Each structure stands twice: as C-alpha cells, then as structure tokens.
A and B are shown apart, each in its own frame.
Chain A
Amino acid sequence: MGALVTAGNATSQALFKIAETDVVRVFVNVPQVFAPSVATGQEARILLRELPGTGLVGKVTRTAGRARSCGAFAS
C-alpha cells in the first residue's frame, strides 16, 4: 500500500501475475528410446501425487522433436 508504481514492462516492477488454470499443460521429458513412439494426438494418463486417485486423461498436443544428449531426453 502506498508503494510507488512505475509504468513499463519487463524492466519495471510487475504488479502481479495471472495464470490460466482450468486447462493445464504437462511437460514431460521423454527418453530417446521412446521419443519416436510419441506423436501428437496420443492419449496420456496423468497421475498426480497431490490428487491421489484422480486419473486424468490428457492428450499430446505438441512434441518438440528435440534431442538432448546431456540427459538422453527428448522433449
């Protein structure tokens, strides 16, 4: 309260952040041996440790198709 707020964007002070939470994204790093088997449109079952017993079904919407040698992962 009473704080000076300056106009701007990236370099100035942000007021707050908002995030859309009804639809979420799940980022998964896929080992390279499984990377060719992942394709857009496939179903993915999502198990959340925070919500035990809740099995969500998601869909693969994007695959980066990028191979990373450091961790043998493809994202």
Chain B
Amino acid sequence: MSTKDSVVLAQAIDRHAPADSTPAMPLEAVPYAPPAPNLSRAALRSLIGVALAVLAVALIMGIAPRVERAATLRAEATEIKSRVPRVTVAKPRRSTATSNTLLPGTVDALQETTIYARTNGYLKRWLVDIGDVREGGTAPRRDRDARARPGASPGASHDRSAARAARNGGSERRSRGLELPAIQERGGARRDLGAGACRAAGDGRYRPHDRRGREGRQSPPVRPILRVSRSSRPSPTSWRPSQEPSRNGRSTWALW
C-alpha cells in the first residue's frame, strides 16, 4: 500500500464519523512505512564480511601479477646495466698474396671473319659446310694484281679482320687445300670465289682457273685469301684447346 492510498483511507474513515461529533484534531497524512526485515545483527555482519573478503581476493588477483612483472623488469634492467657487454673480436692477420674469385665468362674464338663474294654470279656448289674444321696456315691478304687492275683476276672481298688474321697466322707454305665454293659467272666464264677459292691440286700447287687479265696476258697466280688444309680433328665437338698454343703460323679454323 502506497502513501496516497493511506491518505484516501483516512478520509473515508472521516466521512463515516457522526455529524455532531467534533473532530478532536485535524486528520494528517501519515506516510506508510513498511516493516523492516527482520535480520539479526550477527547475520548482517557476516554478510558484510564475506563481501569484503571477495573484494579483497579480487583485488589481490588483479594487482599481484602486475607487481610481479614490474619487479622482473626492474631486475632484468638492473642486470643489463651492471653486466659487462659481450662483443665479437677478431685478431688481424696477414692475408695471402692472391685470392681466388670465380667469375662467369664466355669463350669466343680468337678471330672471326666473314667471307663475302667478290664477283657476282650464281652459286654452283658448296664444298664446305657448317662445322667443318680445317687446320693450316692462313695467308689471306689482298690480291695486289686485282688492286692494280680491277677485274683482271679473281680474288675475295673480305673485311679487315681477315687481313689481320692473315698477318697473324700467315704461312706461305702451300698445303693440301680445301676447295671452297665456286660460282658460275653470268658471262659464262667460270671463276672461283676469291676467299679460299683456290682449287689446290694434290701436289699442293695453286691453279686458278682464269688467270687471264683484260689484255689477254696471263696474269700471275692469284694468291688465295684463305688457304686451309685438312685437319685431323673430326669435328668441333672434340675441340681441346692446348695448354700452350703454338703460334707457329698454323691455325685451326672452324666454319660456321
């Protein structure tokens, strides 16, 4: 029952009172007070004690690990500050005079030369092919005859590296030759290509097919640009560079 209900009950009681009766005192609203629970003092104390105990345990469980960690950190920091630092040291020593280094590289021929035709015509036959290896002295040089009288005698058009190769490995000794491509000229007269176009005979003598100059005189023999001879090496796959290559004028040439 609330306070308002108690006031209404007091007015209802007042209405049922006799009319002549004079009220002894005016009615007043009295608030309703519910009866207090009937707990003994000892029970209340024990309840409060338990609550405090739970609170204390929770407090201890939360704070204790933090305190422990802080103490550990302080101990470690103190140890690091106080201990002697450890460093790696090396004693200097004299090294060797040489050091080995492994580096990648590429093997290349000492000299390479591109052979071009000196005269126009149609290719009649190939007498050498890719992979042929020949060994012999080289005497590639410009045909003096041809320079003096262009067109007088066949020769070869070659670049400067060929001439350089000639000077380096030149050997004038005639050897059993290799017939290189010959072409049929447009006019019908056969000429050899100058670059090694010598048809060396079995006796080692060079015999060009057309030695006649413009005037009809027989021109002197044309020196071949490249003179090669058969090699004992069957193929480039068996190539074995010698430890001490001899530079006595005989060189091995591979066609490619």
Contact = CB atoms under 8 A, between A and B. Distances in A.
B251 A20 contact: yes
A28 B159 contact: no
B6 interface: no
A19 B254 contact: yes
A58 B178 CA distance: 31
Interface of A: 1-10, 12-31, 34, 37, 46, 48, 51, 54, 56-57
Interface in B81-127: 99, 101, 103-126
A8 to B, nearest CB: 6
Given A9-B159, A26-B106, A21 B253 contact: yes
A2 B107 CA distance: 35
A26 B108 contact: yes
A30 B120 contact: no
B125 A1 contact: yes
Interface string B118-138: 111111111010100101000
A34 B252 CA distance: 34
B102 to A, nearest CB: 8
Interface stretch (B59-67, B214-222, B236-244): B236-244
B101 A24 contact: no
Nearest to A4: B122
A16 B256 contact: yes
Nearest to B253: A18
A12 B114 CA distance: 11
Contact of A25 (B107, B135, B193): B107
A42 to B, nearest CB: 9
Interface string B126-159: 1010100101000000000000000000000111
16 contacts: A2-B123, A4-B123, A7-B119, A8-B116, A9-B158, A12-B116, A16-B115, A16-B128, A18-B254, A18-B256, A19-B111, A19-B112, A19-B253, A20-B252, A22-B252, A54-B240
Contacts of A18: 112-113, 115, 226, 253-256
A26 B113 contact: no
Contacts of A21: 109-110, 133, 236, 239, 252-254
Count chain B CB atoms within 10 A of each CB in A1, A9, A12, A34 and give the residue with the most: A9
B105 A3 contact: no
Interface string B165-205: 10001000000000001010000000001010000000000
Given A8-B116, A20-B253, A25-B108, 19 more contacts: A1-B123, A1-B124, A3-B122, A4-B120, A5-B117, A15-B117, A17-B112, A20-B110, A20-B165, A20-B254, A22-B251, A22-B252, A23-B110, A23-B251, A24-B109, A25-B107, A26-B108, A46-B107, A54-B240
